[in-house]
A and B are shown apart, each in its own frame.
Chain A
Amino acid sequence: MGLLDKVIFLLRITQTNDIVRRYFVVNGFDGALTMMGLIIGFLVSTPADLTVIINACLGAAIALGMSGFSSAYISESAERKRALGKLEDAMIQDLHESAHGEASRWVPLLIALVNGLAPLVISLLILMPLWLSKSGFLLPLPPLYAAIIVALFLVFLLGLFIGHIAKISWLRSGIQTLLVAALTAAMIFLVARY
C-alpha cells in the first residue's frame, strides 16, 4: 500500500476525513483573516519599514501554525486514544498492533499537520508580495495592497472549496467568504479611525 493510500485508509477507518477537511478550512480562514488584519493594521498606522511588517506578520504566522499543530495534536491524540479504548472494550482484545492502533498513533499527527500547515502556508502566500517587494521586484500595486488582494483571493478560494464540499453554488460560497473578509477589513478601518 502506497503512502497516500495508507493515509486515506487510516483516515477512513477512523472516519476523520471530514475533521481534516474542517480543520483545513477553519484554520486556513483563520490564517488568512489574521494576516489581512495585521496588514490593514499596518496600512492605517504610521508607515513602518517593510522588514518590521514582514517580521511581525511572520511571527504571527509561525505562532498560528504552532498553535494549530499543538492544539490539534493534543486534542486528537486524546480523542483517538478514547476511541481505541472503546473499540478494545467492545472487541475484548488489544488493538495496538492492528490498523486501528496504527491509526490512533498517526491520525492525530496528520490532523495536526493539516491544522498547523493550513494557516502557515496561507499566511506565507499572503506575505509573498511583501517579500517580492523587499527583494526588489516591481509590483503593479504597493506591497501592502497587493498582500490584501492575495488574502482576499485566498479567502475566495476557501469559499469555493467550501461550496465544492457542500455541493452548493461555488460562486455564492466564494462571495460569502469574501464578504466576511470585506466586513473584517471594514471593521478594522472603522476601529482604527475612531
Chain B
Amino acid sequence: MVLVKRIVLDVLKPHQPNALEFSQTIAAACNDCQVHLTVLEMDENTETVEVVITGNAIKFDDIQLAISDMGGSLHSIDQVEVQSETNDA
C-alpha cells in the first residue's frame, strides 16, 4: 500500500475565505494532517497560494474537493512525498 505523506500544491483562490479559513477547511477535510499555507501573489480578486500538507495518509481527492468547494482552483501539484508500506498480514 502506498501512502501519501506530503504534498505541495499551487492553488489559485478568491480572497474569501481567507487564508486561515481556507487552511482550516483543508485540515478538516483530511484526517490528522498538518497544513502550511503561504500566500505567493495577490491580485485584485484572487491570490495564489502554496499549500503544504503533511500527514500519515493524505487523501488527495478529499483535499481537492475541499479546495473546489471554497472556490479555489488547483493549478499544479508541485511536490509529492509517498511511502510504500509492506502488508504483513
Contacts and interface: CB of A to CB of B under 8 A. Distances in A.
A binds B: yes
Interface string B32-52: 000000000001111000000
Contacts of B71: 87, 91, 95, 98-101
Interface in A61-116: 86-87, 90-93, 95, 97-101
Classify chain B's interface size. 10 to 19
B46 A98 contact: no
B55 interface: no
A134 interface: no
A15 B45 contact: no
A13 B16 contact: yes
Given A98-B68, A98-B69, A99-B71, A86 B17 contact: no
Nearest to A86: B45
Interface of A: 9, 12-15, 86-87, 90-93, 95, 97-101
Interface of B: 12, 14, 16-17, 43-46, 68-71, 73
- 3 smallest A-B Cβ distances: which pairs? A90-B45, A98-B71, A13-B16
Given A12-B16, A15-B16, A90-B43, 5 more contacts: A13-B14, A14-B16, A87-B45, A97-B69, A99-B69
12 contacts: A12-B17, A13-B16, A14-B16, A87-B14, A90-B45, A90-B46, A91-B12, A93-B73, A95-B71, A97-B68, A99-B17, A99-B69
